[in-house]
Amino acid sequence: MEIDQSPFQYIEGESPVLLELPHGGHLTPDEVKPYLHPKFTPGDRREDADEFSDALYLDLPSKPHVLRFRFWRAHADPNRRYDDFSADGVVKTHTSQGVKIYQSERGMPETVRQAVIERYVMPHQHQMLALLANPAIKQVLFCHTMPGIGTSVSKDRGNLRPLFMFGNGGDLHGKPHHNCYANKKTLELMSSIIEDHFHELDVGFNFCDVIRCNNPYSGINSLGRFTCEQFKGKHPFTLEINRDLLLHNPENIIPVRHIIDLIVQALAAGQA
């Protein structure tokens, strides 16, 4: 059976909120297959991706718009600029865990790399721009999951991470560097939703804080792909959810999804 190679899935919503899921896809571009390192495993792909992304963010009762990239982050990353050719760039040479993806240290030939960008990443970005221009969409949330401990190539290597993290490209107090991103008050409101429902979670494992802002990620990879003019007053921010919540107890998915849904509802109601 032929596999659909469409770069993205767009789910039209009823809420004025758009969720982007750039790292939850599970397809491998045909173009990269001849160049894969023989020791690169399905487990390496999974550890590099935002595991549980679909389970957490799709089919929420509040019915937000959803734009979901369909390919593995290891092979094509729409959460990067087109000209980011670093090891963890738009077409990577190594995973977020530091694992070599392709036979060559340089990755794939330049022509193949450019083909991946044009066939998969660019269509996703063009769809994102079209949705940002849609006046029916008032708020944008970039949705991710993260490992519970900083990886070997992360700035916070070996350190415990929070259960939830909001990023607006700003400081540790949630003050953004650009007014077009979500402001500190918005992040405080979103944090209060988590705090009000924290008691519903099974957190019998190690973590550093319940909530942090812009640490370990500022969210700038998501935010910096677009200009303030392109965001058109939608004041975006990122949400990172610690995967250990679900690895420790899969039943945490119910209260975590409820928290996400309440965040979407608050954004839709214009409370942010």
Contacts of 95 (CB under 8 A, 6+ apart): 44, 45, 47, 48, 74, 101
Maximum pairwise Cα distance, the chain: 52
- Percent of the chain past pLDDT 70, that is, above it, reads 98
CA within 13 Å, CB half, 159: 11
Look up the CATH architecture of domain 8-268: 3-Layer(aba) Sandwich (3.40)
Q: pLDDT class for 1, splitting at 50, 70, 90?
A: low
Q: With 70 as the cut, is the pLDDT of residue 34 above it?
A: yes
Q: With 90 as the cut, is the pLDDT of residue 143 above it?
A: yes
Task: Check: CB of residue 21 under 8 Å from CB of residue 266.
Answer: no
Task: Check: CB of residue 46 under 8 Å from CB of residue 99.
Answer: no
CB atoms near residue 210 (< 10 Å): 15
Mean pLDDT score across all residues of the chain = 96
Q: What is the pLDDT of residues 69-118, one digit of tens each?
A: 999 999 999 999 999 999 999 999 999 889 999 999 999 999 999 999 99
Residue type for 95, please?
A: T
CA 142, 144, 150, 152 torsion: positive or negative? negative
Look-up of token digits 């924290």: 198
pLDDT of residue 3: 64
Report the b/e string of 191-208 with b at 16+ CB within 10 A. Answer: bebbeeeeeebebeeebb
Instruction: Give bridge partners of residue 8 from the DSSP assignment.
Output: 69
Domain ranges of the chain: 8-268
Q: pLDDT class for 127, splitting at 50, 70, 90?
A: very high
pLDDT of residue 195: 98
Instruction: Give bridge partners of residue 241 from the DSSP assignment.
Output: 145, 164
Strands 237-242 and 164-167, sheet pairing? antiparallel
Tokens of 233: 């007053």
Closest of 131, 224, 237 to residue 182, by C-alpha: 237
Q: Can you tell me the distance from the alpha carbon of 219 to that of 222, in angstroms, rounded to the nearest whole number?
A: 6
Q: Where are the alpha helices (DSSP H) in 84-219?
A: 110-116, 122-132, 184-197
Q: With 70 as the cut, is the pLDDT of residue 42 above it?
A: yes
Q: With 70 as the cut, is the pLDDT of residue 48 above it?
A: yes
pLDDT of residue 4: 72
Q: Can you tell me the distance from the alpha carbon of 68 to that of 77, in angstroms, rounded to the nearest whole number?
A: 12
Task: Check: CB of residue 140 under 8 Å from CB of residue 132.
Answer: yes
Distance of CA 146 to the CA centre of its chain: 9
Q: Can you tell me the distance from the alpha carbon of 257 to that of 240, in angstroms, rounded to the nearest whole number?
A: 13
Q: Can you tell me the distance from the alpha carbon of 39 to that of 247, in angstroms, rounded to the nearest whole number?
A: 25
Tokens of 105: 């240290």
pLDDT of residue 113: 97
